[in-house]
Structure 1
Amino acid sequence: MAIFSRPTRSPETPAPSTSISTTKDDPPPAYHKPRPTGLRLLTATIYLLATIFLILVEIGNITNNPVIRSTWFLQINLANIIPASVPNAIFINSIAQSIGLHDFYQVGLWNFCEGYNGQGITHCSKPTALYWFNPVEIILNELLAGASITLPIEIVNVLSLIKLASAWMFSCFLVGTILTFLSIFLAPLGFSQKPRWEHKAKRIFFRQFPITLLTFAALLFTAAASVIATVMFVIFQQKVSTASDLNIEAYLGKPMLAFMWTATGLNLIGFLMQIGTCCGVCCCTGRKKAERRSRGAYTPNMAEKQSTLSSRSPGSFGFRRRGKQ
């Protein structure tokens, strides 16, 4: 009599079978939704860099410190304000400082700084919200008593445009910086893995749409501020450089332009990534493709083998020991 023997099953007893049921909403057991950790880190890094560049724009030219003093929108050079064609122009320019004029004036988002070519920046005005650069008022206020200077009409006519555009530029840069900073923490949530029971429409309207709207607003305000600043100071540079009677030079700040347009480009990349994620949630092409592959892997033969293996007893794989009769 065998002590360990395989249990016998009567022919009438049907073999237990296991059915693999998959629904449309729930992926099969073989499907594992990937965790988008890399996308979350990439998105946070993109908006972190954009925030750093926008902060450099915000603090540019407010103090006489390295990097900050070299970040400005526009610099006006008055060192050679009298043209060389005028008799004794060199002598007149040498005494220009004695009547209160500085060699250069440079403009930032909050204030302006002034100084001399040999000494550098000597004074920066107090940072002011919604600041706009008025060279006529600054120069006339700094002239000594009894001194006067006639500025070209081209500069006077463009002052109204500068005042209006500066207010919009200041507001857009400030709002764009705040929204970009918020996107560091909120934008990666658009790539987070959600439970299976959550409905697609709920994820789109309560998670993807607000985050996409936030990144679009950050891009919109940053791009608008960059466009306004570029157009305004390019026009101002042309008006100053082509002014008659006086030899005034104007230069655009390349570091400032590079910072603000780099931040705009980074915000654009982050927004496009959110758009791609929103489209992926709406279409679910990647998930459906993975589910089809997973369901295709469960063929009838595989189901039959799995049911056979599950029906065996724990000792069915042991050796049968034959005893004495």
Structure 2
Amino acid sequence: MGKGGRIACIITPYLLTIATLICIIIVGLGCTKASSSTLSNLYFLRIDLSNLTNGTDTTSEIENLLEEFGITSVNASEVEDLVQQLASNEADSLVKEFYDIGLWGYCDGDIRDGDFETTHCSKPKSEFYFDPLSVWGLDNSTAVKDELPSDYNKDMKIYKAVSKWMFIAYIIAFILTIVELLVGFFAICSRWGSCVTTLFAFAALIFTAAASITATVLFVVFRSTLGNTLKAYGIKLSLGKNMFATTWLAVAFSLAATFFWVFSVCCCSGRSPYNHKNRNRGLIAEKAPYTYEPIGATGALPPQQHHTSYPPPPNNSYPMTHQPQHASPYEPFRHS
């Protein structure tokens, strides 16, 4: 198998690596452009504030919600006061009906006839995490902070730290995947190139999987814990299926690419069977030309009987090892 076979052997992992890179790029592009419905629908978590901004829940309804979810850190009056502040004319210009959280930033907009229409996306920021009070301009309001659940600040600190690690993991996975593609060119030449590429592919797989696992665990836990508390305020949390499908597709492509890179190390050497260095392999050494030996010496044919002046032996035949050297001028010979 020559260079053509070598190229055919690595084309599969190379295409899978490209697919991994595309998925990681799509994850990074989520919630970065309001005018694109495709990119605006790529989010990890959606925060629906439509009930909160309308302020439709009464005190009795809030009490029922607090009792339903077992929330004891706040009472109905505190929740109602916070909802009124957020739904007031002063806050209404800042608080939107929904927020979508992405890797680099967030998008917000309004809900019209049941459709989520994105109107604005924040500028991309490294190590981004969504701070609702900062986004709403209420981070300096002590009255609002006092009326939030006691676990709110603790949960936000954990969310901030994990979001930072998730962002770093995605960036490292992106860089390693690019390096994997660049080093993959050298895999055409030899198995050593495949071996080095496999190392980068394995590292890219680790960070891609780590980022996807972190994102999944973070927002699932965020929705299940803090989401129950926020339901008392009329806030609903939901996960973005498109974003999680994309990030886990990146993991699947990266895993498949790593497997085939390992396969290219074990097979498809790329060495031509017609290489001049291998031409003399497997050949049997032959005797020099013009070298002959009597056929009778090997027992291939029985010794021919000739009339000679020598007295015949008792058994009328000559032993193979004592046959006369010149029994006949026409003694048959064979080429070695």
Structure 1 length-normalised TM: 0.65
Q: Is the 8 A contact 2:10 2:260 kept in 1?
A: no
Matched, 1:128 2:115: no
Q: Check whether the contact 1:72–1:253 (CA below 8 A) recurs between aligned residues.
A: yes
Measure how far apart 1:140 and its partner are: 4.5
Which residue does the alignment assign to 1:232?
218
After superposition, residues 1-325 of structure 1 pair within 5 angstroms as 35-64=5-34, 65-81=36-52, 84=57, 86=59, 96=87, 98=89, 99-100=91-92, 101-118=95-112, 120-141=117-138, 148=144, 150-187=147-184, 189-190=186-187, 192=188, 194=190, 204=192, 207-243=193-229, 245-280=232-267
Count how many residue pairs are aligned between Structure 1 and Structure 2. 250
- Superposed CA offset, 1:233-269 (max 9, x none): 1111112321063222101111110111101110111
Cα–Cα, structure 1 residues 152 and 103, in superposed 2: closer, same or farther, change >3 Å? farther
Q: Distance in 2 between matches of 1:193 and 1:126?
A: 44
2:315 alignment counterpart: none
Deviation at 1:122, TM superposition (A): 2.6
Q: CA deviation at 1:171?
A: 1.1
Assess, with a 3 A threshold, how the Cα gap between structure 1 residues 79 and 222 changes in structure 2: closer, same or farther.
Answer: same
Instruction: Identify which of structures 1 and 2 has the higher relative contact order when contacts are C-alpha pairs closer than 8 Å and 6+ apart.
Output: 1
Residue type matched to 2:48 in 1? N
**Displacement of 1:127:** 1.2
What is the Cα deviation at residue 104 of structure 1?
A: 1.0
How many angstroms apart in 1 are the aligned matches of 2:225 and 2:142?
A: 28
Following TM superposition, by how much is the alpha carbon of 1:34 offset from its aligned partner in structure 2, in angstroms? 6.7
**Change in CA separation of 1:87 and 1:214 when aligned onto 2, cut-off 3 Å:** same
State the Cα distance separating 1:112 from its structure 2 match. Answer: 1.4
Q: 1:147 to 1:260 in 2, by over 3 A?
A: same
CA change 1:32–1:222 in 2 (3 A) is closer
Residue 103 of structure 2 aligns to a residue in which SS?
Answer: coil
Asked if the contact 2:14/2:181 (under 8 Å) is kept, the reply is: yes
CA distance in 1, matches of 2:2, 2:169: 43
Which structure 1 residue ranges, 5 or more long, are not aligned?
1-30, 195-202, 288-297, 308-325
Secondary structure of 2:255's partner?
helix
Q: Percent identity?
A: 28
The one-letter code sitting in structure 1 at the alignment partner of 2:152 is: I
Question: What are the Cα deviations for residues 62-121 of structure 1, in whole angstroms up to 9, with x where unaligned?
Answer: 1101211000111111111357453699xx88x926332221111111111222112722
Structure-2 residue corresponding to 1:22: none
Decide whether aligned partners of structure 1 residues 266 and 32 sit closer, same or farther in structure 2, where only a CA change above 3 A counts.
Answer: closer
TM-score of the two chains, using structure 2 as the length reference = 0.63
Which letter maps to 1:86? T
Per the alignment, residue 13 of structure 1 pairs with none
- State the Cα deviation string for residues 116-170 of structure 1 (Å, max 9, x = none): 1127223222211111112233235399x99957333343321111111111111
Q: CA RMSD in A?
A: 3.8
**Contact kept? 1:111, 1:128, Cα under 8 Å:** yes
Equivalent residue of 1:274, what SS? helix
Aligned mates of 1:151, 1:275 — CA distance in 2: 53
| Cα distance in structure 1, aligned partners of 2:103 and 2:178 | 19
Q: Which consecutive residues of structure 2, in runs of 5 or more, have no partner in the other structure? A: 63-82, 272-281, 290-336
Provide the rounded CA distance (Å) in 2 between the counterparts of 1:184 and 1:33.
19
* Distance in 2 of aligned mates of 1:140 and 1:175: 33
Take 1:236 and 1:178, find their aligned partners in 2: how far apart are those partners?
Answer: 28
- The one-letter amino acid of 2:167's match is F
User: For the Cα contact (< 8 Å) 1:45–1:184, is it kept in 2?
Assistant: no
Counterparts of 1:253 and 1:97, CA distance in 2? 29
